[in-house]
Amino acid sequence: MWKKTKDENSKPESPPLGESPIEQSKEQAIIGRSISIKGELSGEEDLLIQGRVEGKIDFKKNNVTIGKNGHIRADIYGKLISIEGEVQGNLFGDEEIVVRKSAVVRGDMRTPRFSLEDGAKFKGSIDMNPTMEKSSQHQQQK
């Protein structure tokens, strides 16, 4: 009476592992334009900030991007830090810090590589030899 078009033992089709767009792209947290945070931010994924943050941003193993609408009053720790908005605070980039032409940065920077685009505004100092500090700390521990 009832026709079966599929085998009774067949399982519902699901996408193969690894093909989800979320799984294909690296995870990234986004703080939108209308969000304001006071306190300490930390995590294990990349971070894009378009809102306001006051305090400390600690993403040492991940990339941190301050978008054009981002307004930050915090020290920032990240692997690669890219600034397009406003930052008042010190920046600590494990690999590189990039200050885009739309950026305004007031604070000191410590990173092995640094890029400042023409038109960016920056007031502070740059230390491009952070390995010296790490080796001196290592010697003090002995």
For the stretch 120-132, pLDDT in tens is 999 999 999 756 4
Please work out, in degrees rounded to the nearest 5, the angle formed at the alpha carbon of residue 99 by the alpha carbons of 97 and 100.
Answer: 140
What does the pLDDT read at residue 2?
Answer: 58
The pLDDT, as a whole number, for residue 3 is: 56
* Mean pLDDT per 10-residue segment, the chain (142 residues): 52 41 62 96 96 97 97 98 98 97 98 96 90 47 48
Confidence at residue 15, expressed as pLDDT on a 0 to 100 scale = 40
Q: How far apart are CA 115 and CA 97, in angstroms?
A: 6
Residue 74 has what pLDDT? 98
Domain ranges of the chain: 26-121
Predicted structure pTM score: 0.74
Q: So what's the pLDDT on residue 124?
A: 97
Q: Average model confidence (pLDDT) for the chain?
A: 83
Q: What is the pLDDT of residue 86?
A: 98
- In this prediction, residue 118 carries a pLDDT of 96
Q: How far apart are CA 35 and CA 78, in angstroms?
A: 21
Cα radius of gyration rounded to whole Å, the chain: 22
How many whole angstroms separate alpha carbon 119 and alpha carbon 27? 31
CB 107 within 8 A of CB 127: no
